[in-house]
Chains A and B, each alone.
Chain A
Amino acid sequence: MSRSDANDPEMNELAAEFGSMMNLLREGPHDVRPETPSANLWESIRSEVQADSVVPASEGKVVSLDDARQRSWGRRGAILTAVAAAILLVGVPLGLAARSGNESTDVLLAAGELGALDSGSASAADLYDTEGNLWLDLETDRSAGADAFLELWLLDVAEDGSVRDLISLGEVDGSGAYDIPDDIDVARFAVVDISVEPDDGNPEHSGDSVVRGGLS
């Protein structure tokens, strides 16, 4: 029994309820020394997790993702539509008045931070609409190793994290603008992903994603 227990009726009462835990607490802060893991440790975890979950085909679980962000897309789609309407009503006339000639107007619809899935750096992708043509402004310093290339994808992710569908936006050649085909619904294909693809002629997603993030 500690000194305070003897002098403090309140402590006696608590001891009846929290007894052994209170004794552990009195031993003071723990003496486990945090240890910075090596980069290898994360790579081992990552490859074990991916080997377990990746079926690199469109019907398989290529990746699993944040469903919370996905769920909010329905609502966000409606907001985007409203914003787009407002832009048409207000922005276009203003834009036309402010700008001379037929210079195009880029409207930022969404921003995406692409977090690193390996130990490398993050990237970013902003979604723009230029007179109805959608495109991504990609910022990345990633490059593929020998006998491989980087490929940019848009994923349609289900609530349970499985990938319902995916489309390729082609090979990544550093930062720049990447067009999105006209018939793609970005409210559905709302996750940007970059994968390392071996030069093996297989057009399917390798399952080896390096950065990924939702457009929001």
Chain B
Amino acid sequence: MTLTATFPSATLRMPVMHARYIRPVPASLEQRFVAGDELALKEAFDEHGPLVLGLCRRVVGNDAEDLAQQVFVAAWKSRHRFDPSKGSLKSWMAGIARFKSIDHVRAAGRRPSTGGGEAADFGEMQADAERVTDRMVLTEALSGLSGDRRRVVELAFYGDLTHAEISEQLAMPLGTVKSHVRRGLETLRSELEASREQI
């Protein structure tokens, strides 16, 4: 293509009317994903790929990469079903990983080469996949809560402190502690529900 030679490079780098370009309102990763921006898929992969792959590895072992591929392709094809107002993309994708892993385990159990004993364990493996996914979604959602709320919920559940003890430890009014715990749990429940959405 034509290399326009009439513009010296100094002019290129320092346009006279610099800083006049218009900045767009940035759309969130979630919005761009739903809109079908392939760059958003790449960003989602960079951001959530390690966790999705880790989850798949934990549930199905050797076939984790294949499964993670299925998860991202399925997420992309069903992107119109993702509703950013209901929960995060991370939880939604973890949920797809949940269903895909369970399908995978079920299919493996049906294979003739698999011993009958393993097939009988399907129920157990399914319950394990559910539990691992739920815990992952909850932990990730908890770490996404804002500062004070996250600390309060962590102390209540990981630290097993009473509301009164948290109030004392953080020098925070009891009513504020209660409100943080309740609202924090409501957020976590929404994320858990987002991860149980069938695509």
Contacts and interface: CB of A to CB of B under 8 A. Distances in A.
Interface of A: 2-4, 7-8, 10-11, 14, 17-18, 21-22, 24-38, 40-42, 44-46, 48-49, 52, 63-69, 72, 76, 79-80, 83, 87, 91, 95, 104-111, 115-117, 126, 128, 130, 135, 137, 152, 160-161, 169-173, 176-179, 209, 212-214, 216
A41 B45 CA distance: 10
B126 to A, nearest CB: 16
Nearest to A65: B37
Given A37-B49, A49-B41, A107-B17, A66 B77 contact: no
Interface of B: 1-4, 6-7, 11-12, 15-18, 20-25, 27, 31-32, 35-43, 45, 49-51, 53-55, 57-58, 64-65, 68-69, 72-73, 76-77, 131-132, 134-136, 138-140, 142, 153, 156-158, 160-165, 178, 181-182, 185, 188-189, 192
B22 A173 contact: no
B70 to A, nearest CB: 9
A75 to B, nearest CB: 9
Contacts of B35: 64-68, 161
5 contacts: A30-B140, A45-B72, A87-B20, A108-B18, A130-B6
Given A107-B16, A110-B21, A212-B38, A28 B158 contact: yes
